[in-house]
Chain A
Amino acid sequence: MSRPMLEIEGLDAWYGAARILFDLSLTVARGEAVALIGPNGAGKTTTMKAIMGLVRRHARRLSIDGQDVATLATFRIARLGVGYVPEDRRIFTDLTVAENLALARRPARAGAPAWDEAALFALFPNLAGMLDRPGGQMSGGEQQMLALARALVGNPALLLLDEPSEGVAPIIVEQMIETIRSMKARGLSILISEQNIDLCNAICDRTYEIEHGALRPGGLVEKNSSRPQNE
């Protein structure tokens, strides 16, 4: 059994003086897609930010592919192969699509799927046609695709996806499910926070339920192995 892609044990996190996460533990195995579900304010976004080092946090164990990252700066965590797509996308609206992608480009790494231009535009055919468009002039769905693509060109081994379906039209959500499934099929490990159960069921192997900043007891759901898996 290889070591897990992401291993969290006893994670606490704070916003200023307010404590948000309480002793949270979870793992994502290599090549696995795991969902984090729970109501608004449960701490899903904070969990992602804590992994990236964007909020004050403390953990007994916080490791990426076996390497301890609990005290690393955000950019170092990213360089270990973690891609992060925040809930509000945060693409650079002043920069064009091509510029957004160029900034995020990092060399391919062993043990992670590589995304060259061909692979990327096969996944996001729309983006290929709007490379010179400023990010600020894209629709919400297009911005979400750009945010995904921007995370992928960093050639991550682990992708943190924060509520990818939020504010996106249902027809686009359908497309997005296919897109994320093919990302997973290429071997990417994924942690998704979601409220859309259909999306979770279509993509994820396991689900953690989170509430008031802690895992709900018994909230870990392994997918029924008798159900037909992807394909």
Chain B
Amino acid sequence: MSFEAFAADWPLVPALAFQAINGFASASTLFLVAAGLSIIFGVTRIVNMAHGSFYMLGLYVAVTLAPLVPGPLGYWGAVLAAALVMGLLGALVEITVLRRIYRAPELYQLLATFALLLVINDAALYFWGPEDILGPRAPGLTGSVALLGRRLPEYDILLALIGPIVLTVLHIVLTRTRFGRLIRAATQDREMVAVLGINEALLFTAVFALGAAIAGFGGALQMAREPANLLIDLGVLGDAFVVVVVGGMGSIRGAYLAAVLVAQVKALCTALGIIEIAGISFNMSKLTLVAEFLVMAVVLILRPHGLFGRPIPPAHHRGSVEAPLRPLTTTGKFSFIVIILGLAALPFLGAAFSYAPVLALDVLIAALFAASLHFLMGPGGLASFGHAASFGLGAYGTAFAATSLGLDTITAFAFGIAVAALGAALLGSVAVRLEGVYFAMLTLAFAQIVWSVVYQWEDVTGGSNGLFGLWPDPPFDSRTGLYLAALAVTVAGVMLLRYLAFSPFGYGLRAARDSAMRAEASGIPVARLRWLAFIVAGTLGGAAGGLFAFAKGSISPEAISVGRSIDGLVMVLLGGVQSLAGPLLGAGTLTVLQDTVMRETDYWRALLGGLILLVVFAFPGGIAGGLALLARRGAGR
């Protein structure tokens, strides 16, 4: 049988094979980012949120350098130079920032490296501007190869080969060189490495530089495939997190296997195209992101530490023990009531204060969002980097119900909250199996997926335009009516969280946070409590999203991007993790800052990053922690 006849009988086979090779090319790229992330984590125990930034900068540096010299020398010289520059930058970053946070609590490490991501993104904006920059095509590799009746770009074949080549080289370095043995030894027990007379600091710098260089190399190789732009740092980070979580932190071959698995599942979905199941047609190519999440969920349910991962040995330096939460004193309750009454009076103060309720509405929504995240982080001890997903599900659920379904305001709001609760229940069932950095990465990846689905599912979400024309019914149609309703929802939400924090449920959560094993041994169902906490946080985060949709009259993907998650974390951190009032203070402070200072500049990301670094390095207790310290000093006098 000729190939043509075969292809005519089985049209799917060549399509699948073609996509499979494409999948290997994508897998190589994913692997190059994930490998560095994984090695750095293994040795330093830090999840480098800024890893996608090295990838992005690698691409920018390459497209800038490549045109300087014509021909292959310019192209490949630029790729190598980009890797080298990223290695040097990585070393610099490790020495100036990372060294200060090795002993800090995990959350601070994650936020500090995220702050780096923000600063680097704005630095790229400053140097290269907001426009996409196209790179040259690879000289000599611009053609394509006829394969299975299709044309496969030569460059993709090269990329497909580079992954296994880098994997092999890394394997040889890890097993045959002293540097590699040191990496493996330090991944297991870095203290013992120092005991043998090896300079840990130097090793950490070298490892960080290596990881950054590999990411930069991966980014530079994209020169012929995609233009350099400012969105790819976060985009690739989300994918790399999925790969690293699936493969197992610290395992290089796990990273490659997971990269192949994820890329192939995506390729398979694309190849299948539109299929019909039971009379309903599914466009599989639009389900690639959901498929990615499903792969991750299945692997984590079967192997919680990933394909080749092992339980992470506890860090030798735990974060400080959290001070117990205290119920409000009479003075505290009194101040709370005064603040609520003051907020309720805002719309009636006359024209001189006409802007106050507008800003206060933003603060209220932020406060509810931050308080719901804090419930998970403070009493729950689980730092979610994807709380924007709850916000987004609530906002889009509400907007969809109010516009497309035509439901009334209160029912639409309830619908949005229900969508958020359902989403949280679903993700929570997977996420609560994890702790610490795995939890952070999984939630971030999930939020990225929700964002992408919203972005792509135009029929329901309106795609990049979003949903608009959202008008609440009376009595919420006036500015005052909506504001007072939002105040009521926020106050009710915050009081519910307070009540839960001091209920047996809250005590159980805190016991599980302080020692999961001991809590489990005393009969506390740790996983179930965490799952419930996840749903509570997701539901109230969704309520904040619903309020947001009505307050703005529209909702777009931008409002539910990872920036929203990080804003929430910054509010909690700025206010103080160890206090229930902290997130409210933080929400107020950050919202006012955003409204005044940050909207005046194009470089608000760098400002936010600077603010995060300031809190992490200088005020780890946040505003509430600082106030409590002052109060104690005052009382001591």
Residues of A within 8 A of B (CB): 52, 54, 73-75, 78-79, 84, 86, 90, 92-95, 99, 102-104, 106, 150, 154
Contacts and interface: CB of A to CB of B under 8 A. Distances in A.
Contacts of A73: 194
B614 to A, nearest CB: 26
Most buried by A among B187, B197, B198: B197
B154 interface: no
Nearest to B194: A74
A92 B194 contact: no
B189 interface: yes
A79 B198 CA distance: 8
Contacts of B191: 54, 74
Nearest to A84: B195
A92 B199 contact: no
A106 B198 CA distance: 10
A78 B194 contact: yes
A94 B184 contact: yes
Interface string B181-221: 11011011101111111111000000000000000000000
A153 to B, nearest CB: 9
B197 A92 contact: no
A52 B200 CA distance: 14
5 contacts: A75-B196, A86-B195, A92-B184, A94-B187, A154-B196
Given A75-B194, A90-B192, A103 B181 contact: yes
Contacts of A84: 195
A80 to B, nearest CB: 9
Contacts of B187: 94
A54 B316 CA distance: 10
Contact of B196 (A93, A94, A150): A150
Nearest to A79: B197
Contacts of A93: 188
Contacts of B200: 74-75
A4 to B, nearest CB: 22
Most buried by A among B178, B185, B199: B185
Nearest to B180: A99
A154 B198 CA distance: 11
Contact of B195 (A78, A95, A102, A106): A78
B189 A103 contact: no
The 9 closest A-B pairs by CB, nearest first: A78-B197, A74-B194, A79-B197, A92-B185, A104-B196, A75-B194, A90-B192, A84-B195, A75-B199
A74 to B, nearest CB: 4
Contacts of B195: 52, 54, 74-75, 78, 84, 86
B197 A75 contact: yes
Given A92-B184, A104-B197, A106-B197, 10 more contacts: A52-B195, A74-B195, A75-B200, A78-B195, A78-B196, A90-B189, A94-B188, A102-B178, A102-B181, A103-B196
A103 B185 contact: yes
Contacts of B184: 92, 94-95
Most buried by B among A84, A86, A90, A103: A103
Given A90-B192, A102-B178, A103-B178, A95 B197 contact: no
Contacts of B181: 95, 99, 102-103
Contact of A75 (B178, B185, B188, B198): B198
A83 to B, nearest CB: 9
A154 B200 CA distance: 17
A90 to B, nearest CB: 5
Contacts of A78: 194-197
A103 B182 contact: yes
Nearest to B182: A103
Nearest to B198: A75
Given A95-B181, A102-B178, A103-B181, A154 B188 contact: no
Interface in B552-596: none
Interface string B507-542: 000000000000000000000000000000000000
Nearest to A54: B191
A52 B196 CA distance: 10
Contacts of A52: 195
A103 B198 contact: yes
A92 B192 contact: yes
Most buried by B among A75, A95, A106, A150: A75
Contacts of B188: 92-94
A75 B189 CA distance: 14
A135 B192 CA distance: 14
A37 to B, nearest CB: 23
A95 B181 CA distance: 8
Contacts of A75: 194-200
Most buried by B among A54, A74, A93: A74
B191 to A, nearest CB: 6
Contacts of B192: 86, 90, 92
A150 B192 CA distance: 11
Most buried by A among B178, B192, B195, B200: B195
A154 B196 CA distance: 7
Contacts of A103: 178, 181-182, 185, 193, 196, 198
Contacts of B194: 73-75, 78
B131 to A, nearest CB: 48
Nearest to B175: A99
B33 to A, nearest CB: 24
Nearest to A85: B195
Contacts of B189: 90, 92
Nearest to A80: B197
B197 A154 contact: yes
B595 to A, nearest CB: 41
Most buried by A among B181, B189, B191, B192: B192
A74 B201 CA distance: 11
A221 B164 CA distance: 64
Nearest to A90: B192
Contacts of A102: 178, 181
Contacts of A154: 196-197
A94 B185 CA distance: 8
A92 B301 CA distance: 29
